[in-house]
Structure 1
Amino acid sequence: MNSLPLTRDLVLIGGGHTHALVLRKWGMNPLPGVRVTVINPGPTAPYSGMLPGFVAGHYTRDELDIDLVKLARFAGARIINGYATGIDKDAKTIQVAGRPPIAYDVAAVDVGITSAMPDLPGFTAHAIPAKPLGTFASRWDAFRTQAVAPQIAIIGGGVAGAELAMAMAYALRDKQPTVRLIEQSSVLLALGYKARKKMLAALDANNIEIVEYAEVTEIFADGIVLRNGRTIRSDFTTGAAGAKPHDWVAKIGLDLHEGFITVDANLQSSVPEIFAVGDCAHLSHDPRPKAGVYAVRQAPVLFDNLRAVLSGGALRPYRPQSDYLKLISLGEKSALAERFGTAYEGPLLWKLKDYIDRKFMDQFEELEPMAAPDLPHKMALGVKEALGDKPMCGGCGAKVGRAALQNVLESHFGDDAAEVQPGQVMSTDHLRALTNDPVLMTRIAAVHALGDIWAMGAKPQAATASLILPRMSAILQERTMAEIMTTASEVFAKAGAKIIGGHSSLGDELTIGFTITGLTKAPITLAGAKPGDQLILTKPIGSGTIMAAEMAGKANGADVMACLDLMVQDQAAASAILGKAHAMTDITGFGLAGHLRGMCDASDVGVELHLDAIPLMDGALELSAAGVRSSLFEDNLIGAGAIDGPVIDLLFDPQTAGGLLAAVAPKSVKTALKELQTAGYTASVIGEITATGRFKTC
């Protein structure tokens, strides 16, 4: 809940080290009135300092990655999963593929650098650059588990290439690897004499073959070709040289230095409302090499200066240190240290590096959610019990339970949509936001509302929108409405419907809903299930548990992103494929058990549910086993009624924009299942309808 209106948009482009630290600081000390957005291609940001250790096998992938989803939740920011492709500095908008432009008042760029290696013929098809780190880490993880007597080629003989070479050799030491470090001049020229001598000795100790004064001209499936005609075999080719800025940066219209964004002592670009930090920036007042230590130390200055610009305060300069301690991994748990021309090596330095790296990463694990406000000393009886012991969930987790609705609505309680006249059905649905991103929330709410129409076997016809925006300034209202309505129009147009009107108001939080009509010759209801019918479910379950965990900072960011991706998957094709189902519903707020109970009651049949066949979202079972529950769980447990046999808690988990559940004649199941899976649905047969009237699991 926002106690003050939102008046300014701050957008952080990229999840680099500086921005990660800024988000952490923002979560501990937010600036009221600012809406924060972070744009990053993926739910995590790998920490470059631990990459060689990960490659060597000293760290797991989870230990390598900063979970930006958790961090954004802690900071109260919306996270957008996508690549920024441009900035319009005049319109003050940012382009991200697949969504409307994102407006900003102040923006900061921390997208790091990319590799020039793909410019080599054959590189894109047959090799992998060391940056971006996330893609490289995934490819290496897959390769090292299946490699046999591998041949590896690293293009680029700088410190980064040498670290990777030794880490790879160590990781594959039991598989007789051949690792070659290829450099077009001489290797390790950036190091001082003493450090270079020790690094060369370490490369030799790791059996790294150094190929100097060798220019690579082509990459092919099984190796590389050098300018002198030599062919070198390679099963895994990577590039740790040729770092360059992202191409889109050059098109912004900012002052650049060799393609990098030029910034002053305040970290501001030539356009004062755009800041830049990390490897993508060039410090005009005090140039420094590209190194993570500078990005880390820019974070407090960027944090203070962003707050200053957004609140009308004074900025402060960033003063980089003249030199820093370089700690370089040597494959095994040993490291080399260089500073001011001196160099040392050994296991104790690895322990120091490991301590520093883990301490840095621990900052992003120890994120305590903000405490709830204290309750009044005196209040009405029942207030504490009504509040519960955790925040109310968003999406379908915020709905009224099945048992309460059934008691109140009585005969009006039943099918997903109502037939208002022959051939036309209508439904309405709205959701309390479960994400701070209006575009993503609009997609979820639209697909969720359309689910009632698709569950009746109808084709969407027309829709009206009902919106509640959090309190915000007029300009932010306009920006948010533009994002919502542009997205909604796209979703409904794809579904074959048109938005014909709506209503909007301001309130405490974002709520999005739609009333929809649909056309069908013969509505599919809950009442047609027959004994012997097979039950097909088109989506996995578990979204209520995952999003409840996300609110508490307990969910894995990748699982959250995968869950959201399933929510926005529409059910249009599934509805058409299941058009001859005897009965159908969509799984939403009441959970699988509650909605299946509704089908059984309406059809006067029983069910035998196969627990092992029910598809579950990644991470949901583990979170459920750890006691994570949606705030609607208890109501759904009561609403589902008596169940014979074993149960899992996810049966009562409320689903937002969940899948279709259809009772299908046995002769049609095989064909329907094949068509659903071909169409991209995680469809499964999860049970069958019985004549006993019992809800049984096995």
Structure 2
Amino acid sequence: MKTPEIPLTQDLVLVGGGHAHALVLRKWGMNPLPGARLTVINPGPTAPYTGMLPGHIAGHYTRDTLEIDLVRLCRFAGARLILAHATDIDRKARQIIVEGQGPIAYDVGSIDIGITAQMDIPGFSDHAVGAKPLDIYARRWRAFLDAVKTGSVAPKIAIIGGGVAGCELSLAMAHALQQSGNPAQVTVIEAGPQISGVGGRARHRLLQAMHDAGVTLRINATVEKIEADQVILGSQDPVQSSFTVGAAGAFPHAWLGQTDLPLIDGFIETTPDLSVKGDPSLFAVGDCATMPFAPRPKAGVFAVRAAPVLHHNLRAALTGGARKTFKPQKNYLKLISLGGKSAMAEKFGLAFSGPLLWRWKDHIDRTFMDKLGNLPAMPAATIPDEIALGAREIMQEKPLCGGCGAKVGGGILSDALANLAPLAHPDVVTGAGDDAAILRQPGGGFQVLSTDHLRAMVHDPVQMTRIAAVHALGDIWAMGAQPQSALSSLILPRMSPVLQARTLREITDTAQEVFAAAGATLVGGHTTMGAELTIGFTLTGTRDTMPITVAGAQVGDVLLLTRPIGSGVIMAAHMDGTAQGRDVANALEHMQQPQSRQADILRDAHAMTDVTGFGLAGHIQAICAASGVRAEIMQSAVPMYQGARALSQGGTGSSLLSANIANAPTTGITDPLLHDPQTAGGLLAALPQSAADQAIRALKKEGLEGWIIGTLHAGQGPITVT
């Protein structure tokens, strides 16, 4: 008996990619709740792990080692990831307000956004950086250290705050400076009479380590102002500094104070089940929350310990089940890095230090990161013992990709289109074979007509709508036409009427925004429910003169490309969990960007197309075949998305790749990336060298890119690669 399809009925939204939420995502991926749709909102594709930050600053860990890959975690959990800042919350309407995007509705929500160390000191925002958020501080530190190595800035550092965080970071930065061959000039500025946050024995060991590292401690020092090259103190001499870091305490994110959330000193007040006081549908964990039922200092250990309780209670809120109580431990082990590969441990007033403790801390940290990085393999689809001939072989192939990777192979399409009847209507100038059909307009001029749809590559309807709209517009832009109107064709997964309304609002609002920016109007469409999210558009465009086709290229023309290739292999790797989150986010960001300006600049090209499912080689060959020319491309000139080359060399490929290679004419192309199917790919134009040079200059003037990747020669035949 067939397993019944479970409709989506509840929206769970996690705001922030903190440690507790990362652990919830892992547990959710191993046992998702049927009927619940999961969304994560976070500014970036990764989240730094607090425990390894000092080791990264000191140079012991690379950036990749430090960062939790939220893109991979969300893919594993089946969650949509919205890369943007949350800026407000409407608890009455149950909506999260997101920067640059419409509100995100929730039935159950959770907030884990951490804290900031931005300080209200004159000059801080211009000349200093808070130790939190960690990713911003780590990025600024890497840039400063590079500048020190080149001698462009002085190796002088000031840390405001003499607590554990400030002292730990001072030792890490001093170690990194010494390792780079620069004498450490690091000063810790503490408003109180001594180092805070540790007992007497630990304080003594920290002071000794700081002395040995050449770190200066200023106590009873009040910061009045921060300037570009110094920190001005109230009653002491200024501290010279080229890099000033704020590490004096934990400050809540400002936007929380603008909401109606119950706050204590700016932090969200929670109850023993981790829900927000007075609001059982909303939870808060980590440093952004406060627990009056069990007051504890801001420490990552409590977020990690809270994760299993949070996961249970989120599911309970979604299903009407019983909730658990969080009981944080009263005493916890502090492991503090001492710059080099040595650490100090403190608990119950006792303190010990040495290399063995560093190795212990390193083991704990790596184990935590391995848990979030080495995700369990998802079980393969079960193939019945008795199955029709040929079906087993198809099921054993690579899973079907999303986007253009799901297209039917070019050879099959060509055979099918060959059976179309000859053009009969007098207004139809050209039919199948180009990016869009061309029709004569009764009043003069021409109209182009095209349709396209995409099987979802990502779970976010907004992101998929942007990509699908830009992808469909590519056919109009490639004809040198002005977009005119659009009809949508949508398939939604089975869901409740409430979720249908939410999803359609997101899709429609986004589509209208993209098409309006391109000069077109969304005039309607058709929507059904089915197995998975699919978004498509039928478009018209107009042009006064004959639209650009693939048939006008001339001998001596060069080929100009406006976007890198490699999106197919990156999306394929994203589906199987092997792509780096930063690479996925970078490719998706490119794919969402309209190309109307590029099309305007190239509107006088001899021939043009957009690079989509049949890969760069396939679309070059389409121009050559229609124009009666032969192409020679320079492999080193072809731009690639970051991460695409490594994935391709590792054996990853889109499910359409083999069909693209098989459909290509005999050629010397050995690079699979030249056949990689693209979604919302770049415009590919054939035009004279002088016009191409001028177009490159015009693109750069507007902050856009273009690459000349080859030339066209007399004769026919396969593409050659140099």
TM-score, reference length from structure 1: 0.98
Secondary structure of 1:254's match?
Answer: coil
2:390 equivalent to 1:361: no
Counterpart Cα distance in 1 of 2:253 and 2:380: 42
Partner residue of 1:291?
299
Cα deviation per residue 1:49-101 (whole Å; 9 max; x = unaligned)?
01001111111110000000000001110111011001100010001111111
The list of structure 1 runs, each at least 4 consecutive aligned residues, that deviate by more than 4 angstroms after superposition, is none
Query: Pick from 187, 207, 211: which aligns with 2:218?
Result: 211
Q: Counterpart of 1:15 in structure 2: which amino acid?
A: G
Q: Do the aligned residues in 1 keep the contact of 2:491 with 2:528 (CA within 8 Å)? A: yes
Q: Do the aligned residues in 2 keep the contact of 1:394 with 1:433 (CA within 8 Å)? A: yes
2:555 equivalent to 1:548: no
Partner residue of 1:133?
134
Q: Counterpart of 1:367 in structure 2: which amino acid?
A: L
2:233 equivalent to 1:232: no
Partner residue of 2:161?
156
Partner residue of 1:568?
592
Counterpart Cα distance in 2 of 1:308 and 1:188: 43
2:180 equivalent to 1:172: no
Q: Counterpart of 1:158 in structure 2: which amino acid?
A: G
Alpha-carbon deviation of 1:344?
0.9
| Comparing 100-109 and 685-694, the one that deviates more | 685-694
Alpha-carbon deviation of 1:388?
4.3
Alpha-carbon deviation of 1:369?
3.5
Counterpart Cα distance in 2 of 1:460 and 1:190: 62
2:196 equivalent to 1:189: yes
Q: Counterpart of 2:609 in structure 1: which amino acid?
A: T
Q: Do the aligned residues in 1 keep the contact of 2:611 with 2:681 (CA within 8 Å)? A: yes
| Comparing 454-463 and 145-154, the one that deviates more | 145-154
Partner residue of 1:258?
265
Written as runs of structure 1 = structure 2, the 5 A alignment for 1:531-610 is 531-610=555-634
Cα deviation per residue 1:363-422 (whole Å; 9 max; x = unaligned)?
012113421221111111111222342210000000111111112212754110111224
Cα deviation per residue 1:538-574 (whole Å; 9 max; x = unaligned)?
0000000000000111000000000001101111001
Identify unmatched segments of 5+ residues in structure 1.
none
Counterpart Cα distance in 2 of 1:616 and 1:505: 37
Partner residue of 2:440?
421
Counterpart Cα distance in 1 of 2:247 and 2:472: 49
2:695 equivalent to 1:693: no
Secondary structure of 2:276's match?
Answer: coil
Partner residue of 2:357?
349
| Comparing 675-684 and 153-162, the one that deviates more | 675-684
Q: Do the aligned residues in 1 keep the contact of 2:8 with 2:35 (CA within 8 Å)? A: yes
Query: Pick from 80, 83, 90: which aligns with 2:82?
Result: 80
Q: What is the root-mean-square deviation in Å for CA atoms of aligned residues?
A: 1.3
Q: Do the aligned residues in 2 keep the contact of 1:405 with 1:413 (CA within 8 Å)? A: no
Counterpart Cα distance in 1 of 2:117 and 2:214: 27
Q: Counterpart of 1:362 in structure 2: which amino acid?
A: D
| Comparing 528-537 and 225-234, the one that deviates more | 225-234
Written as runs of structure 1 = structure 2, the 5 A alignment for 1:571-650 is 571-644=595-668, 646-650=669-673
Secondary structure of 1:152's match?
Answer: strand
Alpha-carbon deviation of 1:239?
0.8
Alpha-carbon deviation of 1:681?
2.7
Secondary structure of 1:348's match?
Answer: helix
Query: Pick from 242, 251, 254: which aligns with 1:244?
Result: 251
Partner residue of 1:460?
483
Query: Pick from 31, 34, 41: which aligns with 2:33?
Result: 31
Counterpart Cα distance in 2 of 1:585 and 1:241: 56
Alpha-carbon deviation of 1:494?
0.4
Alpha-carbon deviation of 1:674?
1.0
Q: Do the aligned residues in 2 keep the contact of 1:2 with 1:471 (CA within 8 Å)? A: no
Q: Do the aligned residues in 2 keep the contact of 1:540 with 1:682 (CA within 8 Å)? A: no
Alpha-carbon deviation of 1:669?
1.5
Written as runs of structure 1 = structure 2, the 5 A alignment for 1:297-312 is 297-312=305-320
Query: Pick from 11, 14, 17: which aligns with 1:12?
Result: 14
Identity %: 55
Written as runs of structure 1 = structure 2, the 5 A alignment for 1:427-576 is 427-521=450-544, 522-576=546-600
Query: Pick from 227, 230, 233: which aligns with 1:223?
Result: 230
Secondary structure of 1:201's match?
Answer: helix
Counterpart Cα distance in 2 of 1:112 and 1:2: 40
Cα deviation per residue 1:220-272 (whole Å; 9 max; x = unaligned)?
22222112363222111111114211111123312211111110100011211
Secondary structure of 1:608's match?
Answer: strand
Q: Counterpart of 1:533 in structure 2: which amino acid?
A: D
Counterpart Cα distance in 2 of 1:538 and 1:373: 39
Alpha-carbon deviation of 1:640?
2.3
Q: Do the aligned residues in 1 keep the contact of 2:190 with 2:220 (CA within 8 Å)? A: yes
Identify unmatched segments of 5+ residues in structure 2.
421-430
Q: Counterpart of 1:424 in structure 2: which amino acid?
A: Q
Counterpart Cα distance in 2 of 1:689 and 1:482: 47
Q: Do the aligned residues in 1 keep the contact of 2:558 with 2:708 (CA within 8 Å)? A: yes
Q: Do the aligned residues in 1 keep the contact of 2:341 with 2:355 (CA within 8 Å)? A: yes
Counterpart Cα distance in 2 of 1:640 and 1:223: 64
Q: Do the aligned residues in 2 keep the contact of 1:647 with 1:697 (CA within 8 Å)? A: no
Q: Counterpart of 1:346 in structure 2: which amino acid?
A: G
Counterpart Cα distance in 2 of 1:127 and 1:116: 9
Secondary structure of 1:465's match?
Answer: strand
Q: Counterpart of 1:313 in structure 2: which amino acid?
A: G
Q: Do the aligned residues in 1 keep the contact of 2:276 with 2:284 (CA within 8 Å)? A: yes
Query: Pick from 651, 659, 663: which aligns with 2:682?
Result: 659
Secondary structure of 2:260's match?
Answer: coil
Q: Do the aligned residues in 2 keep the contact of 1:406 with 1:413 (CA within 8 Å)? A: no
Counterpart Cα distance in 1 of 2:240 and 2:416: 73
Written as runs of structure 1 = structure 2, the 5 A alignment for 1:42-57 is 42-57=44-59
Counterpart Cα distance in 2 of 1:548 and 1:303: 29
Counterpart Cα distance in 2 of 1:346 and 1:664: 67
TM-score, reference length from structure 2: 0.95
Query: Pick from 337, 340, 343: which aligns with 1:332?
Result: 340
Partner residue of 1:110?
112
Counterpart Cα distance in 1 of 2:579 and 2:139: 20
Q: Do the aligned residues in 1 keep the contact of 2:118 with 2:124 (CA within 8 Å)? A: no
Q: Do the aligned residues in 1 keep the contact of 2:250 with 2:298 (CA within 8 Å)? A: no
Q: Do the aligned residues in 1 keep the contact of 2:231 with 2:241 (CA within 8 Å)? A: yes
Q: Do the aligned residues in 2 keep the contact of 1:37 with 1:79 (CA within 8 Å)? A: yes
2:330 equivalent to 1:322: yes
Q: Do the aligned residues in 1 keep the contact of 2:81 with 2:460 (CA within 8 Å)? A: yes
Cα deviation per residue 1:303-338 (whole Å; 9 max; x = unaligned)?
000011101100010001010000000111111111
Counterpart Cα distance in 2 of 1:500 and 1:186: 69
Counterpart Cα distance in 1 of 2:681 and 2:19: 36
Aligned residues: 696
Counterpart Cα distance in 2 of 1:614 and 1:16: 38
Counterpart Cα distance in 1 of 2:700 and 2:6: 47
Partner residue of 1:681?
704
